[in-house]
A = this chain, B = another copy of it.
Amino acid sequence: MPRDHEDPGLDSVDRHILAELQADGRMTNVELARRVNLSAPPCLRRVRRLEEAGVIRGYHADIDPVALGWEITFFALVGLESQKQAVLDAFESLATSWSEVRECHMIRGGGDFLLRLVARDTAHENELTSRLTGAPSVMRVQTLQTIRTAKDVAGVPIG
């Protein structure tokens, strides 16, 4: 009986821990233990186990992009003129090498990528769009500029 993605057998306490740490990744272990009704040592052991199993991939501070001068967040839907592996790989290498590209997803259907980017201002955004349009094998670039984000929740539902 094959299991794709190792099932660490998460019980309800584990899920509770994950929900708490997803909401506040810097919570002390003592506080976490209190919330999940455990004493500190077994709580910490569970957290370590979840980290080692890869269920918890890391912890990140959530930083306001605007405070660092990244005024614009936008998405770009990029169509390539070929679906050949070499072309896809080349575009991926290019896109992932730009620091302004924060996400790069290959989209089902072939030849399309969805990117999330940040830019300092509209001039910078235009420059990035131009660089995309002018990149090898790029046939089409549709920018999707975010004007309002109604919801942006870290992670996944737990329950």
Chain A: residues with CB nearer than 8 A to chain B?
5, 8, 10, 15, 18, 21-26, 53-68, 70, 75, 77, 92, 95-96, 99-109, 112, 114, 118, 144-159
Contacts and interface: CB of A to CB of B under 8 A. Distances in A.
A68 B158 contact: yes
Contacts of A25: 25-26, 58-61
A60 B57 contact: no
Given A151-B101, A152-B103, A55 B59 contact: no
A55 B70 CA distance: 12
Contacts of A67: 5, 8, 10, 53-55
Nearest to A56: B61
Contacts of A158: 63, 68
Contacts of A105: 75, 144, 146, 148-150, 152
Nearest to A154: B60
A155 B63 contact: yes
A108 B61 contact: no
Contacts of A64: 5, 54-57
Given A24-B58, A60-B22, A68 B10 contact: yes
A67 to B, nearest CB: 4
Given A63-B156, A109-B145, 17 more contacts: A8-B67, A23-B60, A25-B59, A25-B60, A60-B154, A63-B155, A68-B158, A102-B151, A102-B155, A102-B156, A103-B149, A105-B144, A105-B146, A105-B149, A106-B148, A107-B145, A108-B147
